[in-house]
């Protein structure tokens, strides 16, 4: 992975980390599922009238929209409504990285190197430590719904990569806009079923500039910006390389919550965050270190042979 693409990966996780602050501020006035509906309406209109449909089949387009948008956010918000604490939800959602690796290796034949596995183990340990020290009550149904959201995101990652690799070159922005468009109606139906039309009326009557700012951030930065970069990375690199970047999202989220919301991070949470960052470093640069070591050994062996011959 090039240095520029590594930089892109970090931009994505920073935007998604701040994303949780935008969500927290937004749901103060807008029901969670309705917030998701507004997110994709703003992200889609008017952009969809200027961007052609990506050159992938309707089936795959709908599949990506339903897994990454409807499945992920619908299950996540429903899980939080039914007893999943926000902190644990943001952390557990990043398990999509592990599911992406498992699905990619199992179904698509992708292979992981030692650094992939080592990095994921370190990151998993960090996530466990953070999870055990989050506090708050958690319901079993909330846990499983959030885990299902992570699996849905992972499946979407695989479908997106296959669709983009098989298709001729096209704008990833158009893909994000169009999968947002196919997500609006299903999410709206889910919102009406779970939250009710009365919640829509209440949200409209109590609409604030904070809620408007939240929707704008979610639509333009977290969706159009970050997901476009994410899709570009998935179109150029195996899912096993791209997915682990998301493990930094809860670290960024906790850091931003401390700075902007006054929340505190415990000693064990800091240890967990450090393990996640070390895991990501191992994942990203481990192969380069291995190649460098191999190259140095080859050069040393070659130098030794030349010296012996002389």
The tens digit of pLDDT for each residue in 241-294 reads: 776 777 788 778 777 777 777 766 678 777 877 887 788 777 767 666 666 556
Residue-wise DSSP of 50-117? TSPPPSS-HHHHHHHIIIIIIIHHHHHHHHHHTT--HHHHHHHGGGHHHHHHHHIIIII-----HHHH
What pLDDT does 80 receive?
75
Confidence of residue 111 (pLDDT cuts 50, 70, 90): confident
Range of the domain at 98: 3-309
Question: What are the C-alpha distances in Å from 49 to residues 190, 205, 218?
Answer: 26, 30, 20
What pLDDT does 181 receive?
95
Does the pLDDT of residue 95 top 80, yes or no? no
Confidence of residue 299 (pLDDT cuts 50, 70, 90): low
The structural domain count of the chain equals 1
What pLDDT does 177 receive?
93
Q: Please write the tens of the pLDDT for every residue from 207-245.
A: 889 999 999 999 999 888 988 888 888 778 876 677 677
What pLDDT does 185 receive?
94
Q: Please write the tens of the pLDDT for every residue from 117-162.
A: 888 888 888 878 877 765 556 777 888 888 899 899 999 988 988 8
pTM, rounded to two decimals: 0.76
pLDDT top residue among 247 and 73: 73
Which residue in the block uniquely carries the two structure tokens 């952009």?
A: 47
- Rounded-to-integer distance, Cα 270 and Cα 54, Å: 42
What pLDDT does 219 receive?
92
For 194, the enclosing helix (H) or strand (E) is helix 172-194
- Rounded-to-integer distance, Cα 129 and Cα 271, Å: 8
Q: Please write the tens of the pLDDT for every residue from 166-200.
A: 888 888 889 889 999 999 999 999 899 888 899 89
Confidence of residue 37 (pLDDT cuts 50, 70, 90): very high
């Amino acid at each position: 992975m090039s240095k520029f693409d590594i930089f892109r990966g970090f931009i994505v996780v920073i935007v998604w980390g701040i994303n949780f602050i935008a969500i927290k501020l937004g749901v103060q006035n807008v029901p969670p599922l309705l917030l998701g509906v507004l997110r994709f309406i703003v992200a889609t209109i008017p952009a969809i009238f200027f961007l052609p449909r990506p050159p992938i089949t309707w089936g795959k387009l709908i599949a990506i929209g339903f897994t990454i948008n409807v499945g992920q956010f619908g299950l996540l918000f429903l899980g939080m409504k039914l007893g999943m604490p926000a902190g644990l939800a943001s952390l557990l959602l990043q398990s999509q990285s592990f599911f992406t690796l498992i699905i990619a290796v199992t179904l698509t034949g992708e292979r992981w190197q030692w650094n992939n596995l080592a990095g994921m183990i370190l990151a998993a340990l960090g996530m466990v430590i953070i999870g055990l020290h989050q506090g708050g009550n958690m319901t079993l149904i909330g846990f499983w719904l959030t885990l299902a959201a992570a699996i849905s995101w992972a499946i979407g990652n695989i479908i997106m990569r296959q669709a983009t690799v098989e298709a001729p070159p096209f704008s990833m922005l158009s893909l994000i806009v169009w999968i947002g468009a196919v997500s609006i109606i299903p999410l709206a139906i889910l919102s009406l079923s779970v939250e009710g039309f009365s919640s829509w009326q209440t949200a409209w009557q109590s609409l604030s500039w904070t809620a408007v700012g939240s929707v704008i951030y979610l639509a333009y930065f977290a969706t159009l910006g970050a997901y476009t970069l994410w899709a570009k990375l998935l179109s150029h690199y195996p899912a096993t390389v791209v997915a682990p970047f998301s493990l930094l999202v809860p670290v960024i989220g906790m850091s931003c919550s401390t700075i902007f919301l006054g929340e505190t991070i415990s000693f064990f949470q800091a240890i967990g965050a450090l393990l996640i960052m070390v895991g990501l470093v191992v994942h990203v640069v481990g192969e380069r270190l291995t190649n460098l070591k191999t190259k140095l050994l080859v050069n040393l062996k070659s130098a030794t042979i030349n010296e012996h011959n002389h």
